[in-house]
Amino acid sequence: MHVRLAPLTALAAAAAMLLVGPTVVRAQGSESEVEQSQPAQHDYGQVELESFAAAALSVDDLRREWQPRIAQAENENEAKTLREEAVTSMVGAIEDEGLTVGEYNEIARAAQADSTLHQRIIELMQEMR
């Protein structure tokens, strides 16, 4: 199983990011650039990591669902509308797991920087599949 833990950084970039498979979402206006660029040092608990893993799986499933629909849009306005709906769905999936988009992104960035954390998350995701 290959699920990337990379960010979908902005609504405007959602189409490009949806096409390459990221699993992190930024709600419009949710974080400053400084907060996005540096993950906080945090010792994540099992519950947080399980919530993140479940959310990441849901976001990845949504990305796979929306990607072809966006690619088949008849015009840019339709594609934009579909991208907005996709991001809204992804944000909902994250929030359904009890995380904010900020918390989700923080864990994803930390996992990108820490191979041990990344492996823990991948193992949780594999158990959930």
pLDDT digits (tens, 9 = 90+) for 7-66: 544 333 333 333 333 355 555 544 444 344 454 567 899 999 999 999 999 999 999 999
Task: Indicate the SS3 state at residue 7.
Answer: strand
CB 37 within 8 A of CB 85: no
Confirm if 2 and 20 have CB atoms less than 8 A apart.
no
How far apart, in whole angstroms, are the C-alpha atoms of residue 18 and residue 117? 24
SS3 40: coil
* pLDDT tens-digit series, residues 57-105: 999 999 999 999 999 999 999 999 999 999 999 999 999 999 999 999 9
Q: Which two tokens stand for residue 75?
A: 């015009």
What is d(CA 7, CA 38) in angstroms, rounded to the nearest whole number? 13
Task: Provide the strand spans (E) within the chain.
Answer: 7-8, 24-25
Query: Looking at residue 110, what is its pLDDT?
Result: 94
